[in-house]
Amino acid sequence: MSGERRAEEARAGWAMTGPALAAILTFFLLPALASLLLSFTDFDIYALGDIANLRFVGMQNYARLVENPLFWNAMGNSLLFVAIGTPLVVALSLCAAILVHSRWLRWRPVWRVALFAPYVTTLVATAVVWRYLLHTRYGLVNYLLSLFGAGPIDWLGSPTASLPAILIFVAWKTFGYNMIIFLAALQTVPRELDEAARIDGAGWFVRLRHVTLPAIAPTVLLVSVLTVAAMFQLFAEPYVMTEGGPAQSTVTILYFMYEEGFKWWNLGSGAAVAVLLFLCILAVTLVQLRFARRAGAI
């Protein structure tokens, strides 16, 4: 092929990728990097009015955050969401996937779509629905509990029940997504392997433990990593269902960042929270990867 043609191809390559790359740089990568710079300044409502009021303050934002009990409260809540929510969602999605994958199941596509449906619904809308479902007096959840003689639980009004209540909603909303990923992985496990173990007299649970799970271990890792990141990024759920309350019990790290930045206009301090959030996600993901490598999953 002629050199001229080569040059045209390269030009076209740049022309087609240029706009997207420029947009990614301007509206995604540079802002992300700028967060780090912003976190070293005292950018607040005065700097918003006149940029001359901006000062470089070094690590001061971080030092203040470390001393702020509200920050640690938000961090603690987010870690609770990660620590309880991740295993909960992964286990739930895996069970759902195993059920839908079952060879005895009829009308598989129908159940798959029904279980996936919550994931595509609008988060704010279903959060409003769940706020009502979890209503202390009229909610369907407490009604069902009352049939078993339990409750009523003040789901969204008590500082101890509010976080589990939001977790129930989050699990309901997201397990379908992971289920689809697990289903794809399960389909790659050869049926013969399972069949051979069955003929050898292995029970259902033993086969799950020693045949299926090892085969899909990398997918379990992938789903866990995705879920951890998602659990660190909860915002609309507490915003709609509890407004962070009661008694700050559902303020997540992202909710804290939102209030710091867009309610109090402490953008420097908010950026420091964003940086710490990113470091948290990165750290937990690296720990997961190392753990998985040691366990031989990847």
Q: 14-43: which residues touch other proteins (CB under 8 A)? A: 14, 16-17, 19-21, 23-24, 26-35, 37-38, 43
Select the residue interacting with other proteins from 60, 68, 158, 233 (CB under 8 A): 233
- Residue with token string 């959840």: 141
Look at residue 46 and give its three-state secondary structure.
helix
Q: Is 121 in the site for other proteins (CB under 8 A)?
A: yes
**Tokens at residue 256, please?**
């804290």
Write the interaction track for other proteins spanning residues 53-82; mark x where CB under 8 A is met and - where it is not: ------------------------------
Size, binding site for other proteins by CB under 8 A: 98
- List CB contacts of 118: < 8 A, sequence separation 6 or more: 126, 172, 173, 174, 176
List, in sequence order, every residue forming a beta bridge with 41; answer none if it has no partner. Answer: 56
Taking CB under 8 A as the binding criterion, the range among 64-72, 82-90, 193-201, 233-241 that sits at the site for other proteins is 233-241
The span from the CA of 192 to the CA of 242, in Å, is 50
Angle at 168 (CA atoms; ends 164, 173), nearest 5 degrees: 145
Select the residue interacting with other proteins from 91, 102, 193, 247 (CB under 8 A): 102
Is residue 140 within 8 A of residue 226, CB to CB? The reply is: no
Packing angle, helices 69-101 and 108-120, rounded to 10: 160
* Nearer of residues 88 and 271 to other proteins, judged by Cβ: 271
Q: Provide, rounded to whole angstroms, the least separation between the CB of residue 131 and other proteins.
A: 7
Q: Is 52 in the site for other proteins (CB under 8 A)?
A: no
Q: Is 99 in the site for other proteins (CB under 8 A)?
A: yes
Q: Is 239 in the site for other proteins (CB under 8 A)?
A: yes
Q: Is 116 in the site for other proteins (CB under 8 A)?
A: yes
Packing angle, helices 69-101 and 162-188, rounded to 10: 40
The span from the CA of 137 to the CA of 141, in Å, is 10
Q: Is 252 in the site for other proteins (CB under 8 A)?
A: no
